[in-house]
Chain A
Amino acid sequence: MKELQVLWLPLAVVALAVVALLVDLMLPPPRAKQQPAPIVGWLVVFGLVSLLVGTFVYEPTGTAMHGAYRQSYFATYLQRLFLAAGLLGALGGLDDVQKRTPRRQGEFWLMLLSSLVGMTILPGARDLLLIIVAFELMGIPLYIMAAYSKTDAQPTGAGREPKGYAAEAGFKLYLVGATSSAITLFGLALLTGMQGTTKLDLLSQAPLTPLAALGLVFVLGGLGYKIGMVPFHMWVPDTYQGASTPFVAFLSVAPKAAGMSVLASIFLFGLGAQKDVWLPPLAIIAFLSMGVGNLLALPQTDLRRMLGYSGVAQMGYVLVGLAASDAYGLGMVLFFLTGYLFTNLGAFLVLHTTAEAGGGYGFESMSGLSRRSPPLALAMLMFLLSLAGIPFVIGFWAKLYVFLAAWRAGQVALVVSGIVLAVIGLFYYLRILRAAYMTDEGDLPTPKPAPALQLAIGLCFLAVVGLGLWPRGLVEASTRAGAELVAPVQAGQGAGHLTRR
């Protein structure tokens, strides 16, 4: 019974998914020429809201399944993050799903919830088997959602893109994903086989053999694609361009956070003592991600691709924080991921709105936005300033703290290069703002987002600005969450501290 209490959230999401499925099956088939109401969608929204509230009301801690799952504040923090992302993604996508795939709506939500089940299990998972299952559970529905609109038309700008690319987007995501899964499995086989256990706490008990080290880096590489780190990032721009934008909003934040939490669990917690094996490659990957992400974002004309590359760079900054490899660094990583969640989701949803208003996905869709819709322009301004790291929105604090944590841990070169590369980001973020505030072609209509979409953008805006003005509460929460993961190792459970440092 205690186990059920500890696992209540993932189980509740499963229950929500089942309910959604049943409701969808029981809904009368829509009459021809009539757009079915997004009932399942709203059900999902309210369900997620309830669950999110529930995590604040009911916070059990403890272990389940013989220690394979451990619910702690770290897990709770991340679970709230995922629920929030799911909620905002659902709000943002309600209208789009109804319009583009009216007869297949229910399954979309089912896929979203399935992915969320995987995500909510991940932060608490303490066994590599559970981790990989939950990871795949998160990932596979994403392939389906990416390709959901199949080859249906996308919103056009100046008469371009008559054909849909969702299928291609989904396929590329899938291919990289499946390859990475195989690589991860191979690496896990070597790692767990040679270390003799799948439990994270026991992973460091014996010193790493070369074979186990090989397995370790395979796992690192295999997990990298979800986060979008270089060189496993190449699916990102294509998928962001081809899939439906509200889904991309969700994709750009939640799986990345989940991937980061897995990285943290496996490497910081499980293999903390073997820092010298995985830290240097991680640092190099961080540097490459910041570099490639920022450089390749510059020439983009499709804003979805640009934001995709921007996300690659942002994950580079997060990896810098992970490279600090201590509790404070992890806390700041969590803080960054939270801020990034609202920022990026919001940015994509605004882009979705302007594209739907007839502008397409290039810079032209932003033209004159300050006149057409001052609130939208203001929201986009805040989101872009946050991405660029300009005071006083949350992105500023996030970047500051992450770099600070890495600096304090001695990663000086990484921090300096990070700062220089982050400056490049200003170029392309501000270009969007220039289009919104300083150009005006004058012939684009006023964007009229649906109420749910407005609500989602509004919530993101409030979070980005509010947390930017008063970050203290969030800083304290994320520091506590970070300590919860790393501290048990420090407290010395005998796990692998026979060796160096």
Chain B
Amino acid sequence: MTLSHVLMLASALFCVGVYGLLTRRQAIAILLSVELMANAANLVFIAMSRFRGGVTGQVFALFSLAITVAEVAVGLALVILLYRSHADTRVDLASELKQ
């Protein structure tokens, strides 16, 4: 296993996340996709630390986890807000502001 392998995996995960982000209609699914992308980044951090030395990557990964968690918490709160007004979490319902 080399760095390249892990990077390819991480990239694949990232792309899956992007795909989900763009195609899913439910807000929760979109949040999940974002999580996936963030975790792909974490994977890269760890891989860098593992294959190129130093603990920086691992430290960064921990911080990254914390940041992402905070962000998702807020995101879920916003989703609940949307749910309260539309009784559904389909993202295309939140599209009254446009142009």
Contacts and interface: CB of A to CB of B under 8 A. Distances in A.
A440 interface: no
Contacts, number: 122
Contact of B94 (A132, A168, A190): A168
A143 B31 CA distance: 15
A165 B97 contact: yes
B88 interface: no
A169 interface: yes
Contacts of B63: 129, 132-133
Contacts of A151: 81, 84-85
Contacts of A129: 59-60, 63
Contact of B74 (A133, A143, A188, A242): A143
Contacts of A140: 70-71, 74
Q: Is chain B's binding surface mostly helix, strand, loop or mixed?
A: helix
Contacts of B96: 165, 168
Contacts of B48: 189, 192-194
A363 interface: no
Interface in A174-201: 174-175, 177-179, 181-183, 185-186, 188-190, 192-194, 196-198
Nearest to B11: A186
A318 B47 CA distance: 37
B57 A193 contact: yes
Nearest to B70: A140
A241 to B, nearest CB: 5
Interface in B61-99: 63-64, 67-68, 70-72, 74-75, 77-79, 81-82, 84-85, 94-98
A80 interface: no
A150 B41 CA distance: 32
B82 A189 contact: no
Interface residues of B, number: 46
Contact of B37 (A165, A174, A182, A192): A182
Dominant secondary structure of chain A at its interface with chain B: helix
A313 B45 CA distance: 36
A196 B3 CA distance: 14
Contacts of B94: 167-168, 171-172
Range for the number of chain A residues in contact with chain B: 35 or more
Contacts of A179: 21, 34, 37
Contacts of A170: 78, 81
B38 A185 contact: yes
B41 to A, nearest CB: 4
A484 interface: no
A107 interface: no
Nearest to A240: B97
Interface in A206-244: 211, 237-238, 241-242
Nearest to A161: B96
Interface string B43-65: 01101110010101101100110
Nearest to B72: A178
A315 to B, nearest CB: 21
A167 B52 contact: no
Given A140-B71, A151-B84, A192 B97 contact: no
A133 B67 contact: yes
B97 A241 contact: yes
B13 to A, nearest CB: 10
Contacts of A238: 97-98
5 contacts: A151-B85, A165-B97, A171-B27, A182-B38, A242-B97
Interface of A: 129, 132-133, 136, 140, 143-144, 147, 150-151, 165, 167-172, 174-175, 177-179, 181-183, 185-186, 188-190, 192-194, 196-198, 211, 237-238, 241-242
